[in-house]
Every structure is written in C-alpha cells, then in structure tokens.
Amino acid sequence: MILETSKKINRFYGRRKGRRLSKSNLLALKEGSKYIINSTDLPLNTKIILKNLFEFKTKKVVLEIGFGGGENLLNSAKMNPDILYLGADPFLNTNAKLIKELLNNNITNVKIWPDDIRKIIDLFPKNTFSEIKILFPDPWPKLKHKDRRLIQNDFLISLYNILKLQGIITLGTDHFIMKSWILEIFQNHSGFQWIAEKASDWRIRPGDCFATKYEQKSIIENRKPNWFVFEKKYRI
C-alpha cells in the first residue's frame, strides 16, 4: 500500500536489505510480527492514531529513528517498562536482530516501523512523543549529497509538531560535518532550545542513552562522538 502524505518525501538512500535475510532472520520477522506496524494498518490520507501503538496504557511515548542494531532501543525498553518505545529503521536485517532480542527478553513495550520514518511522520497526532532520539544518523558528508541527510528543515518541522512541549530531541554524531549541520538546521527553527551549558553536555553521552554499535565504532576509530539535546519551546 502506498502512503500518501502532503509533503514530498526525499528518496531513501540507505540500505533496506543487505545480505539475503537468513532463515532465522526471516523466522524472527514472522514470529515477531506483533512488534511490527504494518503499512496496511494505516488508512490513506488520514490523520491517524496508530491504533496498536496507543492501546498501550502509557503517558510517555519515545520515538527512536534509525535504531540500527537496536542496542539503545532494547536497553531503554528493558529499563523503562512503563514507557512505550517506537523504533523506525528500514534495514530489515537489523529489524530481525532486534526482534529476536525482544522475543528472547519478553519485551512488550516496543513497536517497530520497519521503513523510512518520513513516510509516517506527519500521520502522528501533534504532541505525541515525549522524546525523540536519532543516534548517529548517516552523515552523507559530501556537499552534493546533502539532500540525502535525514536532518533537514522540513523534517524538523515534522519533529516539532509530533513532540510534546518541553519534549526533547537527542542526537548523537561523530562526524564533524554532521555536527555543524545539526546545529545549523536547529538554529533555522525558532522552536528549539539547545540544552547545553558546558562542554561535557555535548561530549558525554546523556544518561538515558545506551552505547550503540556506531558509537563504539567511532571510539575505536578515534573519532569523538558528540551529543546534542534540544528542548521544544513555544515557537516565536
């Protein structure tokens, strides 16, 4: 089913499938179907509430975009069983890896959108999420590829709409181009305040984020990850 949204969505340039899905990954996707939000559940052209998602009785819903291996999502869900986590990532192999862990650990507070978040981002009701996490988004460092970066002015407007007032967006990155790009895009939007008072605020991983594969990779390869936390305020 093709989802229609009012905005043009940039093409997704990352990987959806890498190596062929192994039998065990295919099985995990099947057995863990309860975790997956299927695009056929979404009515066309409607502002919808993702029914399955909001049947979970919680006041706090956290969105993680591009969860990759799912290290942060899994550990966050384990630590906070009363919070509902929605993870989005189009890469099916890592979806399957995460689902295996969710099944093994009997996790009930995670849902997965196994696709490009931009296809559904504007379908959420306003003020849905208390937090949004985007850890190590693909940097697309070449200038000619800047349109491929996930963080864009339009995308930020969508994030602003679905985030609660005083809700926070946490981003991590180890790439110097991405660091200045993030700050530039957030500065273009008058509805966010960068929560940083001292250097350790952007040098040390926030206490509510867990180490991910890409963070580990950056440390091994001697790059310094930085962390940016923005709070939603009234737009001036």
Ligand X SMILES: C[S@@+](CC[C@H](N)C(=O)[O-])C[C@H]1O[C@@H](n2cnc3c(N)ncnc32)[C@H](O)[C@@H]1O
Nearest alpha carbon to residue 3 among 115, 100, 130: 115
Residue 66 interacting with ligand X (CB under 6 A): yes
Q: Residue 104: is it exposed, middle or buried by C-beta count within 10 angstroms (0-12/13-18/19+)?
A: exposed
Q: Which of 186, 202, 214, 227 binds ligand X (CB under 6 A)?
A: 214
Q: Which of 37, 84, 85, 90 binds ligand X (CB under 6 A)?
A: 90
Report, in Å, the least distance between residue 190 CB and ligand X: 24
Beta bridge partners of 227: 172
Q: Which of 36, 74, 150, 169 binds ligand X (CB under 6 A)?
A: 150
Q: Identify which range of 47-55, 60-68, 75-83, 195-203 contacts ligand X by CB under 6 A.
A: 60-68
Distances (CA, A) of 27 to 23, 32, 70, 228: 6, 8, 18, 37
Token pair for 152: 């864009």
Q: Which of 14, 54, 58, 201 binds ligand X (CB under 6 A)?
A: 14
From 82, 89, 138, 174, the catalytic residue: 138
Residue 136 interacting with ligand X (CB under 6 A): yes
Residue 213 interacting with ligand X (CB under 6 A): yes
| Minimum CB distance to ligand X smaller for 165 or for 204 | 204
Q: Which of 61, 112, 120, 135 binds ligand X (CB under 6 A)?
A: 135
Phi-psi region of 33 (alpha: psi -120 to 50; beta: other; left: phi over 0): alpha
Sign of CA dihedral 91, 158, 124, 194: positive
| Minimum CB distance to ligand X smaller for 116 or for 131 | 116
Residue 225 interacting with ligand X (CB under 6 A): no
Q: How many CB atoms lie within 10 A of CB 87?
A: 29
Residue 65 interacting with ligand X (CB under 6 A): yes
- Give the x/- contact pattern for ligand X in 99-118, rule: CB under 6 A: -----------------xxx
Q: Residue 177: is it exposed, middle or buried by C-beta count within 10 angstroms (0-12/13-18/19+)?
A: middle
Token pair for 222: 């001697």
Residue 36 interacting with ligand X (CB under 6 A): no
Task: Tell me whether residue 174 is one of the annotated catalytic residues.
Answer: no
Measured between alpha carbons, how far apart are the two ends of the chain, in Å? 38
Token pair for 79: 């630590």
Rule CB under 6 A: which residues touch ligand X? 12, 14, 65-69, 88-91, 94, 116-118, 135-138, 150, 212-215
Which residues carry out catalysis? 138
